[in-house]
Structure 1
């Protein structure tokens, strides 16, 4: 079968999706074949092979309990399995998931989860608040007492701790923190205030991210840019080269500004709640910031608020791009989009150092969160374990490493129908693409 290994894509074509592109031979268009088209920056000397997966090998047995997953990895052709392992090594992944059969629905996956993972536990919810408040207070104490040469460590801790506030508000927005909606709205609003994040505007846009994950143009989280966008303005092009390159770990600051303070981006029915959230944020800025400056001066405002806030945005940006961005994970048009594939195959589980996982309340156990956002953060690990047991071979998993970050920051830029992503420096932009070539040269490449 004329499926090829080329540059940077891992696409799954099923019989209900649009016909295989003209570059593939007519023999590839059998309705009984699912195509595994794998592109990747394979190492020098790698041989190109052809792969195909017959849909007859996949069998889903639906029942009242747990859907029977398709065959084990051992049933894949050995060369296909070897290619997946090679892509894992090249991209910095621990596992790249096999394509999910099209007849698997999101409901099938949700029904396979234990009911207990959806249960709200008030003690665990408020324990997460206690952890975040105490760790944040400890961070502020460290900033106050640390000598100048230890301040970066204090800022790293405090920025990570305040990211936990975001996760608590995140649970509140998904109605997975408390049984009382008013309590969730109050806690969510308060948790977001130190971040200068308006709770309701973020909630409305984040709901759209879950409804249209990895859908081109419709997903409100990060997605590939269009070449037409970059070519529309030299200034925009240069900004994109830095924003999707060296500044990408802080790109969420731009997203925060663009998406959450513009009233025209919200429906009339949402405006009242949006305005209340904005009023709370501006009140915090109008009262909290002057108090910080009054007590500690401008330098104190930088030390106690700005630097931890930049640390929070580092994690916000890093977590977001790792969750849904990789050369083999496609963004799809509305017509081609499939909910189960986007949420299970299009989301990445990434392990970070334990202290980060604790302070950030397991937000990076992200696949079950996209299967159902009603799962509380303290139940995500149990839900992920269940997914591993029932759907394990379809999961994308990684342990955070430099090669993973380098792959995302130097490859995952411009959308292309055939390749998913094309890197900026491969499009002939010359000196404008120097930020990307700089990253290729200086970023470590070890996993």
Structure 2
């Protein structure tokens, strides 16, 4: 069997898993919403400050999970043809500063062009070759490094979502992405409501801290899942869909609790192989298809995080990502 046939066989092997369990889809949605509700109660009820702080952290982490559920809905893998789901996730997209119009456009482009040099930076972190970086102007180099800087990712709330997802899309195409303005407005209104409900404590712990936590984790996951030691990039002529999934998307090892909070998005190579697989079935696919257990890995350990952040440009001669 040649390589192309093996690749087709691997994709075919995932097809039986690309079917949702409707009851489980609703169950995971409502149970996650219940945790979010509990966190809000912990923040705004007359509780001790340490309870409010823990609830704020819980809210930030659980928003990551609900974002993955939203992400699956946008991939049409769960809860399609439901009016309630449509309104729920449309509202959540606005609330989380990732309206459906811009999220679908940028994220679909990411899936179609992941790991392609020069065309993968829409919906992804920019990647250039070492040669192109060295020939760029100082301003271009600074902008490139800023987009990939650890602090930019840590402050993903400001730079990636408010700035990149909403403001940039609105400025580039206001007619197409008018919902970005609604998202920014809703975020401001939510801040005002939380301030009126709980003062500065309510605003900080109900909106600002959870947003910083959720967006920092989300921004880093998206970075590390495609910028890790051993990642592969190719030009358009050398690009294949299977390589983009298996060589350019990582399996991020986590403990069970973090897999829950991140909605199993650590099984990212499987998600890129078949985006129609619901998030709650990804571990099942990993267990039952041995070929998928050979993915390149990273983790949330400090040494792996540092290793990912050291990578800056693609070295064509060495065929790997390198630092400067």
TM-score (norm 1): 0.63
Instruction: Give 2:99's aligned residue.
Output: 198
Instruction: Give 1:258's aligned residue.
Output: 164
Instruction: Give 1:380's aligned residue.
Output: 282
Q: Larger Rg: 1 or 2?
A: 1
CA drift of 1:286 comes to 4.9
Task: Give the RMSD, CA atoms, in angstroms.
Answer: 3.0
CA drift of 1:236 comes to 6.0
CA drift of 1:412 comes to 0.9
Matches of residues 300-379 of structure 1 in structure 2 within 5 Å? 300-379=202-281
Q: Deviations over 1:179-211 (max 9, x none)?
A: 316555323212223322222211111001111
Instruction: Give 1:7's aligned residue.
Output: none
Task: Check 1:151–1:215 CA distance in 2 against 1; reply closer, same or farther (3 A cut).
Answer: farther
CA drift of 1:212 comes to 0.8
Q: Deviations over 1:218-239 (max 9, x none)?
A: 2221243456558523596288
Instruction: Give 2:137's aligned residue.
Output: 232
The alignment status of 1:155 with 2:56, answered yes or no, reads yes
User: Which consecutive residues of structure 1, in runs of 5 or more, have no partner in the other structure?
Assistant: 1-58, 61-100, 425-447
Task: Check 1:407–1:152 CA distance in 2 against 1; reply closer, same or farther (3 A cut).
Answer: farther
User: Which consecutive residues of structure 2, in runs of 5 or more, have no partner in the other structure?
Assistant: none
Instruction: Give 2:18's aligned residue.
Output: 118
Native 8 Å contact 2:116 2:239 kept in 1: yes
Matches of residues 38-49 of structure 1 in structure 2 within 5 Å? none
CA drift of 1:365 comes to 1.9
* Aligned positions, number: 316
Q: Deviations over 1:117-172 (max 9, x none)?
A: 11122211111212221211222233346655666544332111111221121011
SS at match of 1:119: coil
CA drift of 1:243 comes to 4.8
Q: State the distance in 1 between where 2:128 and 2:288 align.
A: 35
Determine which of 144, 148, 154 is the counterpart of 1:249.
Answer: 154
Instruction: Give 1:5's aligned residue.
Output: none
TM-score (norm 2): 0.84
The alignment status of 1:417 with 2:316, answered yes or no, reads yes
